Structure 1
Amino acid sequence: MTWGMMRSPDQAAREVERDGFAFREAVLDEPQQRSLLACLGSATGAGRRGMLTLPEVNALARSEALMALVKPFLKGHALPVRGIFFDKSAEANWLVAWHQDLTLAVRARCEVPGFGPWSVKEGVPHVQPPAEWLQQMITVRLHLDDADESNGALRVLPGSHAQGRLSPEGIGEWRERVPEVTCVVRAGGALLMRPLLLHASGRSVSGRHRRVLHLEYAGFDLPAGLEWHEGLP
């Protein structure tokens, strides 16, 4: 099954509530796409983290257009907290197993009740918050190339975001029971998704690029002692 059509803001909000994801077309026009690609450059391996440290990306993430896009999905303020650039191509071609996005990138480890376990990715501390905190986040995946089945578009399991943190057995049950959706998105469009939505992607079989700027927004401030790794000083 494939989805990828225009949604009004109200319809998108209903779909995110129900399914955990929604699409918006023409979020970036062609000049914006070219400018962003020039800023991002190339990615090594599966992608590059820390994109919010780039002034151009930070300005885009905080722009009026993107803030208007994400605010309907967050009860509090909308704060961009992490940026990752993915570039799937013939030279860097990977697959991702079914999973939920469970961690926050922070500046330093600090023990806070309910937060854990901890891990380190590329030297950056990451921590799993309580599931209810992840439910107050929204991810915007800005597509800089057309994405479909042939170049490793994201696949999702609708409704899985509402189940909290799932065990490996729970993920397996969802895979058996719920038909997956391939997220077909045109260049310039966006996929909005909750972090707890089960998602995966396969390898590209086309040789085409599948470049995506992944931006995460939180509707809350971190508890005392924790600071966002890519937050403002």
Structure 2
Amino acid sequence: MHPEIEQSGFALVGNVLDASECSALRETLGPVSGAGERGLLGRPGVVTLAQSDRLLNLIRPHLPAEPQPVRAIYFDKSAEANWGVPWHQDLTIALRARTEVVGFGPWSTKEGIPHVQPPAELLAQMLTLRLHLDDTDESNGALHVLPGSHREGRLTSDRIQELRAQQTDYLCVAAAGDALLMRPLLLHASGRSTSPRHRRVLHIEYAGFALPTGLEWHEAA
């Protein structure tokens, strides 16, 4: 168990994958066009890893029920596909269809997939695992986080600015094979890469709750 997840909203775990496993996963995921690829729980290699006890044992202590992988995204930041992300929380979940349910909203559509903001108390019952497939630091766009910000629920833009002024952020430097565990409500951002190196990350979201009747995860394993 990583008690800092409840206090700070995140934890770095070293050596979850070894060098050969990182290499094999990079080969399996292959090159991507643009920033990355969504819908990866449809790939056998990814879903097997997401459901493995190695990963689930990291997640289980921090969710109220057996973790269910509900979304996987592969990010590849490089000199050819480079971007920065402003400070934000991960507020939406991807679903199969739009069904109006009290407490869920607003809705949006990304790449043809319905997304909705669930109640903040459900987001608090999720945990994201980010597997680093490359060494990651400031130069190639490592994630910055604002410790403890997940405890404030869904934040307004004004409150985000206040917290940024009050606190110092933390840079999540990681080696290939390390994992970052983080709450969706944790404020985070990343800068553009200034390095020719890749920053490849397999991002897997886990939920510890069942959706209300009428709602289905878009890609639950």
TM-score by length of 1: 0.94
Q: In structure 1, what is the equivalent of residue 111 of structure 2?
A: 122
- Distance of 1:107 and 1:80 partners within structure 2: 15
Q: In structure 2, what is the equivalent of residue 69 of structure 1?
A: 58
Aligned with residue 101 of structure 2, among 106, 112, 120: 112
- Distance of 2:111 and 2:45 partners within structure 1: 23
- Distance of 1:157 and 1:47 partners within structure 2: 24
Secondary structure, counterpart of 2:11 in structure 1: strand
Please give the residue correspondences for 1:162-201 in structure 2 after superposition, counting only pairs within 5 Å: 162-201=151-190
Cα deviation per residue 1:16-42 (whole Å; 9 max; x = unaligned)? 000000010010112211121111111
- Distance of 1:76 and 1:64 partners within structure 2: 15
Aligned with residue 149 of structure 2, among 131, 154, 160: 160
- Distance of 2:195 and 2:20 partners within structure 1: 25
Q: In structure 1, what is the equivalent of residue 198 of structure 2?
A: 209
Aligned with residue 133 of structure 1, among 98, 122, 133: 122
- Distance of 1:89 and 1:38 partners within structure 2: 16
1:32 counterpart letter in structure 2: E
Alignment partner of 1:99 is 2:88: yes
Deviation at 1:189?
0.4
Q: In structure 2, what is the equivalent of residue 3 of structure 1?
A: none
- Distance of 1:180 and 1:42 partners within structure 2: 31
Cα deviation per residue 1:146-174 (whole Å; 9 max; x = unaligned)? 01011000000000000000000010001
Q: In structure 1, what is the equivalent of residue 9 of structure 2?
A: 20
2:148 counterpart letter in structure 1: G
- Distance of 1:140 and 1:231 partners within structure 2: 15
Paired residue total: 221
2:192 counterpart letter in structure 1: R
Aligned with residue 38 of structure 2, among 45, 49, 54: 49
- Distance of 1:207 and 1:93 partners within structure 2: 10
Percent identity over paired residues:
62
Cα deviation per residue 1:60-111 (whole Å; 9 max; x = unaligned)? 0000101111101101110000000000000000000000000000000000
- Distance of 2:117 and 2:6 partners within structure 1: 22
- Distance of 1:171 and 1:55 partners within structure 2: 38
- Distance of 2:96 and 2:159 partners within structure 1: 32
Unaligned residue ranges in structure 1 (runs of 5+):
1-8
Secondary structure, counterpart of 1:155 in structure 2: strand
Deviation at 1:114?
0.3
Secondary structure, counterpart of 2:197 in structure 1: coil
Q: In structure 1, what is the equivalent of residue 48 of structure 2?
A: 59
Deviation at 1:131?
0.2
Secondary structure, counterpart of 1:211 in structure 2: strand
Secondary structure, counterpart of 1:213 in structure 2: strand
Aligned with residue 139 of structure 2, among 147, 150, 160: 150
TM-score by length of 2: 0.99
1:139 counterpart letter in structure 2: T
Q: Structure 1 runs of 4+ off > 6 angstroms?
A: none
- Distance of 1:146 and 1:138 partners within structure 2: 22
Deviation at 1:178?
0.7
C-alpha RMSD over aligned residues? 0.7
